Structure 1
């Protein structure tokens, strides 16, 4: 059984917030080959305290005893204001808040005193070679944990990251790396064993209302949570992104850990642009030798396993299979 920490920025039930973190958590809870031992939240898709309440509410709703620890409220250096302006208010500027009418909002919870970076670093370093860290939000908590626990880079079994975009129309940068470029740089060049799931591949995933209808027929609180909270997000994605459904970025990371037939990957050196300007936060990848290497330094860190293609039918089948297997909530 693979032991997991999920560091995330969930927004299920929050108007205008992406729901793929919650779907990833639900899959991790449902899959019998995974043991989810800690959830931490970070400012990204939602403010950290909002994500904390979403995750805590899901644990309470499903009767799961997984500890949840609130993490960083802001990036290491990047100003939070412009990002929060877009992420928190876009649904209202698009006048689509009504899509969430009738959707159960998460209860509010008071965070514990422990910091997410310490919770992550301690669990990994106390169990060397046993913990996989699934990082599906900005990498602030992970970078802070590596700063405080330098041995974590060698102690972690794997860091599986959703983030980055290399060659996708309409995107120069993605949210996860763009919100905290310095954190992304620190983690990607840490020398840890890393798998990266960029938007180039997650934008090839798709869940439609028809796919969600099948999940809605499954018994249990996890399937109910997924069907209820993904419904308005699919409508929102269809109207704002002109998609036939919605991308399910973060779920692919967890699915890959269960069954690597769901995607194909190749090894690259990966880093993030830190300089000011429109490309700040943009990710790039390469494999030496380059045909032209003038002004290019030796890469930092090690090669990173980068997912490049996805079997979306298998991904959807896995979600249905494991959500159908999920145990009911504890009374």
Structure 2
């Protein structure tokens, strides 16, 4: 059994907020091969306090006692104002708001603490080599934990990160790295064993309404949560992205921990742009040897394993099998 921490920014049940974090949490909780020992939240897809409420409410529904600790409310340096304006106001139009009609909002429950960075650092450093960190939001909590606990990069078994975008025509940067570039840079260069799951591979995933009905057919509170909260997001995604369903970015991270056949990858040198301007927060990668290396320092960037192709049918089967074996 693999022991994991999930650092996330879930928005299930919140109108206009992405639901892939909640699906990732659901797959982890439903999988006997994983032991979820801590869930922490960070400002990203939702404010940190909202994400903590979503996660805690889900666990209460399940009767689970996994601790939920709220974390950073803003990035290390990046101004949060334009990001919050963009992320928190995606469904201002009444026709979009109606998509969430009848969806139960998470209850106003308090988390189990508000210092996610210390909770992450202590658990990893007290159990060297035993904890895998699933980082599916901006990396503010993880970077702060590494600053406070210098041994953490060596003590963590692995960090699997959803973040970055390299070659998609309609993205210069993604939300997770773009919202806190300094944190992403620090974590990538920490020396920890890192697997990166960028948008280039997560946008190869697809969940349709038909898929959702099939994978949540079991009569269990976790299946009910997934079906209820992903339905409006699929509708929203179909309308705003002109695709037949929705991408399910974050769940690929958990699925890859369970079965590495679900996605293939390659080692790259990876880095992120920190300078002001339009490309601030942009991630980039290359493989050695470079054909043109003039002006480029040797070993520029951090050596990271990057996933680049997904078996979406296997991914959906894994989710369906995990949820279907649950007992009330």
TM score, norm. by length of structure 2: 0.98
Distance in 2 between residues matched to 1:142 and 1:100, nearest whole Å: 32
Pairing of 1:69-88 with structure 2 (within 5 A): 69-88=69-88
Pairing of 1:171-182 with structure 2 (within 5 A): 171-182=171-182
Aligned counterpart, 1:169: 169
Aligned counterpart, 1:97: 97
Cα displacement (A) at 1:114 = 4.5
**CA displacement 1:255-305 (0-9 Å, x = unmatched):** 000000101000011111000111000000112221112222233675211
Aligned counterpart, 2:145: 145
Distance in 2 between residues matched to 1:300 and 1:115, nearest whole Å: 33
Pairing of 1:26-45 with structure 2 (within 5 A): 26-45=26-45
Contact 1:269/1:285 (8 A) holds in 2: yes
Task: Give 3-state SS (helix, strand or coil) of 2:90's partner.
Answer: helix
Distance in 1 between residues matched to 2:54 and 2:260, nearest whole Å: 29
Pairing of 1:191-206 with structure 2 (within 5 A): 191-206=191-206
Q: Cα RMSD (Å) of the superposition?
A: 1.2
Distance in 2 between residues matched to 1:97 and 1:114, nearest whole Å: 30
**CA displacement 1:31-50 (0-9 Å, x = unmatched):** 11000000000000000000
Aligned counterpart, 2:65: 65
Paired residue total:
328
Distance in 1 between residues matched to 2:47 and 2:100, nearest whole Å: 18
Aligned counterpart, 1:287: 287
2:258 aligned with 1:255, yes or no?
no
Cα displacement (A) at 1:327 = 3.9
Task: Give 3-state SS (helix, strand or coil) of 1:159's partner.
Answer: strand
Contact 1:31/1:326 (8 A) holds in 2: no
Structure 1 portions without partners, runs of 5+? none
Aligned counterpart, 2:51: 51
**CA displacement 1:128-147 (0-9 Å, x = unmatched):** 00000000000000000010
Aligned counterpart, 2:311: 311
Contact 1:191/1:301 (8 A) holds in 2: no
Contact 1:29/1:326 (8 A) holds in 2: no
Cα–Cα, structure 1 residues 260 and 130, in superposed 2: closer, same or farther, change >3 Å?
A: same
Aligned counterpart, 1:22: 22
Cα displacement (A) at 1:326 = 2.5
Cα displacement (A) at 1:109 = 2.1
Task: Give 3-state SS (helix, strand or coil) of 2:274's partner.
Answer: coil
